[in-house]
Amino acid sequence: LGGGIDWHTSEPVTDEWHLARVGAEGGQLVRFPIPPFIHGGSQWAIFQSLMGGQKAVVYPEFDAARSWEIVEKHKVNVVFITGDAMGRPMVEALAERDYDLSSLVTVASSAALFSQNVKEEFLDRIPNALLIDAIGSSETGFGGLGIVSKGSPTSGGPRVTADKQLHVLREDGTVIEPGSGEIGTLARSGHIPLRYHNDPEKSAKTFKEFGGVRYSLPGDFARVEDDGSITMLGRGSVSINTGGEKVFPEEVEAALKAHPDVFDTVVVGVPDDRFGQRVVAVVATRGNARPSLTDLNEVVRKELAGYKCPRAVWFVDEIKRSPAGKPDYRWGAEHTAAHDADETL
């Protein structure tokens, strides 16, 4: 499941007892994976705990304030969340009352956008905890992690130090070198799954061989930076093609969430006769706030090029997400198709 990798070092395990020895040498670590167990990240956190002789705390439902009470009660060391869907209500719960978080060492996020402004609120309220962005998927296993710091440059998705078997490939399967600026497809070699069960068509799309090397390609686009770190840009299946330019919803969502009135958002593409698709946003605001589209885009333009700014906005009471906290882009597209926009440029 883990590709035979020690996730602390990204090095292959030496034998089947490696993780147990490391756990015994380091003392007990208490993990609290908050997402439900349909989420691979929670499954991973539990397996890490079991294989390393550690302790895992499990509760059936998510509630922001209750999560901090659980951290207090069980002296949790590591909390696992899925981006803003859990992170934003949790950090706002910290403003309501004081909690004893002295045991907390790390807050780790994966599988959903963890926007920079929410990260910085965490760092302000829990300055002694390490904040981590991690990437991975069921098809690739653990991919890498990045340490979050205040004032870090934003690029939509997480920027991580990848393990040695994670690559970014061109369409022809050649490896993109660091610092080229090219956008490619994230791929993992090494110990990877054989196939999807009873789905040969999907298996053929995801598991491919280039130059004698077999890869798993879960469908994420990424870029390799000068230092060899990898910036995740988003899933190709939800990217927006506007006038030939590729726009990844997560980068626009992250920019929108810097606006103080925006609590949550999902960005999708809608049909456009001239450009093929237009970038639009479905937004849940704080209270009854209704910022203008011009006001929203002033914030977006601080981070992104003009063509990535939403051209229309729909206001809703709540953004629909999966039980694990992932945005439901199909719902976003259906909502924009079924309702008139609140404002259009």
- Per-position DSSP letters for 205-267, written without gaps between them: HHEEEETTEEEE--SEEEEE-TTS-EEEEEEGGG-EEETTEEE-HHHHHHHHTTSTTEEEEEE
Tracing tokens 């939800």 back to the chain, one arrives at 238
Give the model's confidence band at 23: pLDDT under 50 very low, under 70 low, under 90 confident, else very high: confident
What's the distance, CA 15 to chain centroid? 31
Classified by CATH at the fold level, domain 5-152 comes out as: Rossmann fold (3.40.50)
36 has a pLDDT exceeding 90: no
pLDDT band at 305 (very low <50, low <70, confident <90, very high): very high
Q: Which residue has the higher pLDDT, 154 or 268?
A: 268
- Quote the pTM value: 0.83
- Residue pair 307/245 in contact by the 8 Å Cβ criterion: yes
CB-based contact 264:84 (threshold 8 Å): yes
Q: Is a pLDDT exceeding 90 seen at residue 311?
A: yes
Q: Is the dihedral of CA 28, 33, 37, 42 positive or negative?
A: negative
Angle subtended at Cα 84 by Cα 83 and Cα 86, rounded to the nearest 5 degrees: 85
Give the range among 125-139, 163-177, 267-281 with minimum mean pLDDT.
125-139
Q: Is 307 left (phi over 0), alpha (psi -120 to 50) or beta?
A: alpha
Q: What is the pLDDT of residue 2?
A: 66
Closest CA to 1 of 58, 41, 56: 41
pLDDT in tens, 55-85: 999 998 899 999 999 999 999 999 999 999 8
Give, to the nearest 10 degrees, the angle between helix 40-51 and helix 18-26: 80
- The whole-angstrom separation of Cα 67 and Cα 82 is 13
Reduced to 3 states, what is the DSSP secondary structure of residue 318? Answer: coil
Average pLDDT, the chain: 91
Residue range 166-236 forms a domain whose CATH class is mainly beta
Report domain extents, the chain: 5-152, 166-236, 239-344
Site of tokens 């789905």? 199
What is the β-pairing status of strands 159-162 and 230-235?
antiparallel
Question: In this model, does residue 152 exceed pLDDT 60?
Answer: yes
CATH code linked to domain 239-344: 3.30.300.30
Q: Hey, what are 33's tokens?
A: 């994976």
| Half-sphere exposure for 56 (CA within 13 Å, toward CB) | 18
Q: Please state, in angstroms and rounded to a whole number, the distance separating the CA atoms of residues 153 and 6.
A: 28
Contacts of 246 (CB under 8 A, 6+ apart): 183, 221, 239, 240
User: At a CB cut-off of 8 Å and minimum separation 6, what does 120 contact?
Assistant: 150, 151
- Strands 240-242 and 220-224, sheet pairing: unpaired
